[in-house]
Structures are given as structure tokens and as C-alpha cells.
Structure 1
Amino acid sequence: MVRGLDLCQDAIGKLSFTDYFYLLLTGHQATPAARAVLDATLVAIAEHGLVPSVQAARMTYAAAPEAVQGAVAAGLLGCGSVILGAAQQAGELFDAIERRTQEQSEELDRAAHVVVAEYRTAKRAIPGYGHPLHKARDPRVEALFKTSREAGAGQRYVDIAEAVERVIPAVMGKDLRLNVSAAIPAVLLGADFPLKALRGVPILARSAGLIAHLFEEMNHSIGFALSYQAARNVEYQGEVPAGFREQRS
């Protein structure tokens, strides 16, 4: 029995993995809106190219091919505030703004302005805004927002995310646009996904991406090539022993 369901009779062959994850996490069956939004976020964030966490996983597998689980773990350990973790932090930002609108009876843009200003005063980055590649909005943002609208999920946190985008130039002095790490909590919170579990969604999605990278590593290895590339791009900064002569091939 799992969450009141007979695993063999009620779950296997009856529930998708997205449905089952939602049930395990919340104890409730996913609504159609929750299912669509959660599934879309998992797809959006599963693959991200050769980011540091993926390189760590590939190099770990190259060094220890008998332990796929160790290579996956190495990649997941690299999921922090810069890569993947920003979704949780953005959700907490949106929650703070929503609570302020409720407690202070402030209109949305005013509440967003106050909370973003508090972040700036504390010298905290605004999580989920700005992207090294996408100077306009990350294209995944609109894809997720469209999925959310069409699925009938709540749009309150999408509105909050867009309010933050509007006030950032005045508060921060720069134009930072929504990226996928803000879109994920905006659509998930609108589908009643638990705030405290937001970090788990990118981790779950990236686990799938890491396994795919490692299967590729098994067949077309680049793990050691990645480590050699790092060595070629590092210049020795220490003292040079007397009489040392560098050998170049």
C-alpha cells in the first residue's frame, strides 16, 4: 500500500511517473492542471548541456565506471544556488511578496518593490532573474506560462513573477528578465505544489538528465577529455624551482 493505493492494482500501469511523484509527495492525486504543470517543469529542466554538475558526473564515471550511482551523486551534489537551487529561492521570494500583499494590504507592484529593495539592501541576488545567454526572457518561461494558462492552473504567482520583473530596473538599476528558475516556482505554486519541496523538482529532473549523460559517457567517453581541458586552461602560479626547464610536447 502506498498513500492508500494498492501499488500493483491501483498504481502500476495506471499512474504516470509524474502522477506518482505528486502522490508520493503530497498524499493527493494530481489534478489535471498540477499534472500538466509539473510534467512541463520536469521536461524544461532535465537537460542543460555540459554544466559543471554534468561534467562532474562524467569525470566521476570516467574514474569509477563501476559506480554509476556515485557519478549521479557527484552531479547532484553540484546542484546549488547557481545551478538548479534558484527555483526554491525564487519561490521563497514570491511567497514573501504574496504574504506582504495579504498582511499589509499592498497592491502587487508596491509589495514587489519593497521586497526586492530589501534583497538589494541585504546584497542578495534576485533569484530567477537574469541569464548569461538570454538577455530577453528565457524562452522556456513563456512555454511554461503557456502550459500553465492552458491547463487552468492558478496565475497568481505568474503575476508576482512578472511584477518582480517590472520593478527590478527601478530598484536594481539593471534590466533582469525572468529565467526558467523563476518560471518553475511561478507555475508550480499556482498549481498548489508545496513551497518547501520546490528544490526537489529540478533535482528529480536533472537526475534523468545525468543518467542520459552517463549512458552517453559509457558509449562516447569525454570524461578524461574534460579533465585534460581543465589542465590545459590552468596556468601554474607557484614559485618555479631554480634550474627548472619547462618541457613542451
Structure 2
Amino acid sequence: MSSSANKKIPATKLCAHTLTSMHYRDADLVNDLLGKKTFTEVMFMQIMGREPRGVDMRILDAALITLMEHGFTPSAIATRMIYMSAPENLQGAVAAGLMAVGSQFVGTMENNAVILEQLVQSKDPAGLAESIVMDIKKNKQHLPGFGHHLHKPDDPRSIQLLALAEAEPELPKTYLQALRLLAATVDRVYDRHITINATGAIAALLGEIGVPPRLMRGFAVISRAAGLVSHIAEEQQDPAGRFIWETIDDAIPYIGNGPSAKNNPHE
């Protein structure tokens, strides 16, 4: 018997089709989903492997709407620049912008969610929160889920998101409590108020509906893809890509010793 015969054969629960039908998990696409379920409901079912409750949809929709658009952030700028360079490649422009969804922008809820999960599972959450925040401060690391360069003293998005979750009787509130504890610890350790930003709030909300930390960034990708398509739609009607390029080219001076140095307008 060959060694390949002993290997487990991969399988999927996501989709199956015949000559006359297609199923998403156990639901018939034509008879159970089309015209009867929303995109968000089917997306949740596919990703999470269970039927969504009403509270799941309200929380997820709030998170997706919040993450969709943040203006001229690195992801939007990347999308516009790539679309300017290759307008025949809309999907490539969106993909370029999605590459910026990471630990510094948009996808930061994942790092915060890891901390919240540790606090939820800890027998001494207050002590653990103190240790985590002290370590972050000591090492001068970025504090995931906290701080914003524009929204001070508090992020209005976070206030609304947390209020929406607190009002849901079906949620256990364990991740919300962990976030509140973490926020209080942050303020005490840093001796000043640091706002919970939108991705910090979203980390708690998605945790409340059972989304694992390592999947949370996926929802950010889904949401931001829609926002990036809107940037392309605007780029088609009112282009900003060339202006961004020319502005940067003019604003960042050449400081070398080549012939262009004598023509440097910034000197």
C-alpha cells in the first residue's frame, strides 16, 4: 500500500453542486437563499458555519459599515494610484488597497482581540490587564485598539458601537467587560485618557458574537473592499490619483548631490 493511501483526503462543507442545483453548506442556493436571505446573512453562515441570529446581523452590520470607509488612508490611496496606472485592472486596484489592511490600519482589531480573549479566559483579568499594559508601555509598543490622531477625547464611533452592543440582551458582555477593564487600566498606567478607537470596539463586538480573533481581519477585508470600489467609482468620475502623485512628487525634495540639486525648489 502506498503512503498516499494513508493520507486524509481533504473535504469541504462550504459548497456542492449537481447538474440542476447548487448548495451553500446545507442550503439550496436557488430555493433557500436567493430572494430570501441578505448577503450579510449568507456571508455569516458561510464563514461561521451556523445560521445567524438577529443580534449577529445587527452587530456585524454595524462593524462592516464602520470599517468600510476611512477616507484617504493608505489603502484608498494605493487603490487610486494603481487604478490610475492600470484602469483596465479594477480588481488589481482593489487588491492593492486590501494589502494595506494590517496591524496598523483597519485590521488592528485582531491584535486587540487577542488581548481581550486572554482577559476573558484569565482567572485574574485585572492583574493580567495591568501586566499587559505595563509591558506595552515599557517597550514603547503600539497599543492595539486605543488612540486616534483625530478623535479626541473619545472616538464617537466607539461610543456608538459599544452602546449598541450593551443594549443587546442576548450578548454575554464578557468581551465588552474585558475591553472596559483594559481601557481603565490603560488610562491609569498612562496617567491620561486614551480613547478606545473603532477597531478596539469592533474587536469586542465581534468577540461577543463568537468570531475568533484570527478571522476578524477577514471581515475588515470584506468591508474595506466595498469602500475601495467606491473610491474607484469616484476616481472614474473625479480623478485624484494624478493629483496625489504630483503632490507627493513636489512635496518630497531631492537632497542628493546630482544635477537636480541646483533646481531644488525646497532649498
TM over 0.5: yes
Q: How far 1:239 moved relative to its partner?
A: 1.0
Q: Which residue of 2 aligns with 1:31?
A: 53
Q: How far 1:124 moved relative to its partner?
A: 2.9
- In structure 2, C-alpha distance between the alignment counterparts of 1:165 and 1:87, rounded to whole Å: 14
Give CA-to-partner distance per residue, 1:90-132, whole Å, 9 cap, x none.
Answer: 10111122222xxxx22x4333212222333454322010100
Q: Which residue of 1 aligns with 2:93?
A: 71
CA contact (8 A) 2:153 2:193 kept: no
Establish whether residue 53 from structure 1 lines up as the match of residue 75 from structure 2: yes
Q: Which residue of 1 aligns with 2:228?
A: 210
Out of 161, 183, 186, the position equivalent to 2:179 is 161
The Cα RMSD (Å) is 1.8
SS of alignment partner, residue 24 of structure 2? coil
CA contact (8 A) 2:254 2:264 kept: no
- In structure 1, C-alpha distance between the alignment counterparts of 2:207 and 2:156, rounded to whole Å: 20
Structure 2: 5+ residue runs without aligned partners?
A: 1-22
- In structure 2, C-alpha distance between the alignment counterparts of 1:190 and 1:22, rounded to whole Å: 14
Establish whether residue 198 from structure 1 lines up as the match of residue 216 from structure 2: yes
- In structure 2, C-alpha distance between the alignment counterparts of 1:66 and 1:151, rounded to whole Å: 45
CA contact (8 A) 1:32 1:151 kept: no
Equivalent position amino acid for 2:113 in 1: G
Equivalent position amino acid for 1:169 in 2: D
Structure 1: 5+ residue runs without aligned partners?
A: none
Equivalent position amino acid for 1:115 in 2: I
The higher-RCO structure (CA 8 Å, 6+ apart) is 1
Which stretch of structure 1 is more off in the superposition, 150-159 or 212-221? 150-159
Equivalent positions of 1:68-107 (< 5 A) are 68-100=90-122, 105-106=123-124
SS of alignment partner, residue 167 of structure 2? helix
SS of alignment partner, residue 225 of structure 1? helix
Q: Which residue of 2 aligns with 1:145?
A: 162
- In structure 2, C-alpha distance between the alignment counterparts of 1:7 and 1:55, rounded to whole Å: 37
Which stretch of structure 1 is more off in the superposition, 36-45 or 148-157? 148-157
User: Do the aligned partners of residues 50 and 123 (structure 1) sit closer, same or farther apart at CA in structure 2, a change above 3 Å counting?
Assistant: same
SS of alignment partner, residue 66 of structure 1? coil
CA contact (8 A) 1:37 1:151 kept: no
Tell me the TM-score normalised to structure 1 length: 0.91
SS of alignment partner, residue 27 of structure 2? coil
% of aligned pairs identical?
29
Q: How far 1:133 moved relative to its partner?
A: 0.7
- In structure 1, C-alpha distance between the alignment counterparts of 2:47 and 2:90, rounded to whole Å: 26
- In structure 2, C-alpha distance between the alignment counterparts of 1:126 and 1:97, rounded to whole Å: 15
- In structure 2, C-alpha distance between the alignment counterparts of 1:97 and 1:33, rounded to whole Å: 23
Equivalent position amino acid for 1:207 in 2: A
Q: How far 1:247 moved relative to its partner?
A: 8.1
- In structure 1, C-alpha distance between the alignment counterparts of 2:186 and 2:167, rounded to whole Å: 28
Q: Which residue of 2 aligns with 1:132?
A: 149
Give CA-to-partner distance per residue, 1:116-168, whole Å, 9 cap, x none.
Answer: 22333454322010100112221011211122233332311111111111111
CA contact (8 A) 1:56 1:71 kept: yes
Which stretch of structure 1 is more off in the superposition, 44-53 or 149-158? 149-158
SS of alignment partner, residue 198 of structure 1? helix
Runs of 4+ with >4 A deviation: none
Larger radius of gyration: 2
